[in-house]
Amino acid sequence: MPSRWQIQHARNLWRRHPAVREDDALTVGERAADRLRNGMGSWYFVIAALVFLAGWMIGNRGVGFDPYPFILLNLLLSCVAALQGAILLIAARRSDQISAELAIHDYNTNVEAAEMIKAIRDMTEDIVGRLDGAPQGMAD
């Protein structure tokens, strides 16, 4: 089973990819989208949200400022859900942008490799042509 470090390293490997821009080249919005995506898509966020909800309900059992139907909590969660939808769309757009940058880099790499293979094939054909035309004793 891979260690926690190996899993984290594999997740962050794309950040060192030559086609992905680094933090200095990103806009403020792109950096914020990355941070929010990483934060909202984590177990820490889920556990913190559950602890917050449990704390709110326990704190307002019967005498708190927001008793049982928790109308204020419902309003707060509705607002969070509305914002979270927009934030997740922004983060998804950022992920698509990263995927597009990686795809462009992969395509360019494939084009360069095809050109190199063609050059090597041409050189090999040239060498074979020279050997075919050489006197018999030199080809052995």
129 burial level (CB within 10 Å; 0-12, 13-18, 19+) = exposed
pLDDT for 123: 96
pTM score > 0.75 for this model? no
Per-residue pLDDT of the chain (140 residues), as tens digits, is: 667 766 666 556 555 666 677 767 778 887 887 787 778 878 898 899 999 999 999 988 878 888 888 999 999 999 988 988 888 888 888 888 888 888 898 999 999 999 999 999 999 999 999 888 777 655 45
- Please give the backbone phi and psi of residue 19, each rounded to the nearest 5 degrees, phi first: -85, -15
Q: Looking at residue 14, what is its pLDDT?
A: 53
Residue 110 DSSP label: H
Query: Do you know the residue count of the chain?
Result: 140
Dist. CA 80–CA 84, nearest whole Å: 6
Domain extent listing, the chain: 4-105
On the CB side of 97, how many CA atoms lie within 13 Å of its CA? 15
Q: Give Cα separations from 61 to 18, 67, 69 (angstroms).
A: 55, 6, 10
Residue 20 near residue 102, CB atoms below 8 Å: yes
